Amino acid sequence: MAIVAQSTKFGTYGRPILAWAVAILFFFPIFWLVLTSFKTDADAVKPEFLFFFTPTLDNYANMTENYDYWRFATNSIITSVLATAVALIVGIPAAYAMAFDPSRHTKDILMWMLSTKMLPAAAVLYPMTFLAKGIGIYDTHFVIILVLTLVNLPIVIWMLFTYFKEIPKDIIEAAQMDGINTWGEIKEILIPLAWGGIAATALLTFIFCWNEAYWTVRLTTTEASTLSALIEGNRAPEGLFFGRLSAVSAAAVGPIVVLGWFCQKQLVRGLSFGAVK
């Protein structure tokens, strides 16, 4: 009885307070970033917590006039969308094969794929850079898409694998008895049934691609640079201009925050419940 009463009390007051505290903790930096982006550079470096100031749009104007924000944004969209698409096109059949027709090596392959995520990116920086330059794909959309796809593929396959695993094997077998071919299985059964999971995977991959900074900064100079490279580039030689930097950062994370906001239901459902049940 005591336990029930306690948990109820916690449920009524404790849990919401805790949830709000965590939410504020996470949200505050974003809030501060946006706030700072409307400050002049002079205001922005003031050491006190400045909540009231005369807002200015100069930082944003400066960004679009001097930095060609839209070119970076376009590059981000192109590389993120295509890398996500390629990762799914490769990942869906791979995860399908491992989920429904596993061999005795399937587990090892999955672990191996995960292990590649444990490799520090810096370890392959030089080979990757030389390779990209050597075959003439440095600073192109192609190399960014390739790298983003490869970096995210293990996660994509793992996520899809767990979603596909939840589809009862009977349904796939029934379809096989009904005369379906492999492509049909994927198109008619797998994708519709795992739609929630696939959408969540796609969304997460897109977010990872969009936010990727290590490779996009190092494998591009001008042509294929993305928004994360733009932020990096704002570490101006004259020093840090916090107002300007904040505006660029806000404009870079803005689209993904908006996307995340609209898709949060799908994302939460996909990440917590899985595909079918």
Partner 1 sequence: MGRIVLEKVVKRFGETEVIPPLDLTIEEGEFAVFVGPSGCGKSTLLRLIAGLEDATEGKVIIDDEDVTQVSPSKRGLAMVFQSYALYPHMTVRKNIAFPMRMAGVPEAEQEEKIAAAANSLNLTDYLDRKPGQLSGGQRQRVAIGRAIVRNPSAFLFDEPLSNLDAALRVGMRLEISEMHKKMQTTMIYVTHDQVEAMTMADKIVVLQAGVIEQVGSPLELYHKPRNKFVAGFIGSPKMNLIDGAEAKKHGAATIGIRPEHIAVSTKANKGAWKGTVGVAEHLGSDTFIHIHGIEGCDPITVRAGGDLEVKHGDTVYLSPDPALIHKFDDAGLRI
User: Residues 173, 222, 236, 240: which binds partner 1 (CB under 8 A)?
Assistant: 173
276 contributes a contact to partner 1 by CB under 8 A: yes
Q: Does 92 bind partner 1 (CB under 8 A)?
A: no
Main-chain phi, psi angles of 194, to 5 degrees = -100, 20
| Residues whose CB is less than 8 angstroms from the CB of residue 260 and which lie 6 or more positions away in sequence, other chains included | 203, 207, 267
The residue (of 55 and 168) whose beta carbon lies closer to partner 1 is 168
CB 81 within 8 A of CB 208: no
Q: Does 184 bind partner 1 (CB under 8 A)?
A: yes
Q: Does 168 bind partner 1 (CB under 8 A)?
A: yes
- Residue from 192, 239, 261, 265 that binds partner 1 (CB under 8 A)? 192
Dihedral of CA atoms 27, 33, 38, 42 in degrees, nearest 10, equals 140
Stretch near partner 1 under the rule CB under 8 A, chosen from 4-12, 35-43, 83-91, 178-186? 178-186
Query: What are the DSSP calls for 60-90, one per residue?
Result: HHHHHHHS-HHHHHHHHHHHHHHHHHHHHHH
Nearer to partner 1 (CB atom), residue 198 or residue 209: 198
Please choose, from the candidates 209, 212, 213, 257, the residue with its C-alpha nearest in 3D space to the C-alpha of residue 233.
Answer: 213
Minimum Å distance from CB 107 to partner 1?
15
Least distance CB 190 / partner 1 (angstroms)? 11
Q: Which spans of this chain sit near partner 1 (rule: CB under 8 A)? A: 168, 170-171, 173-180, 184, 188-189, 192-193, 276
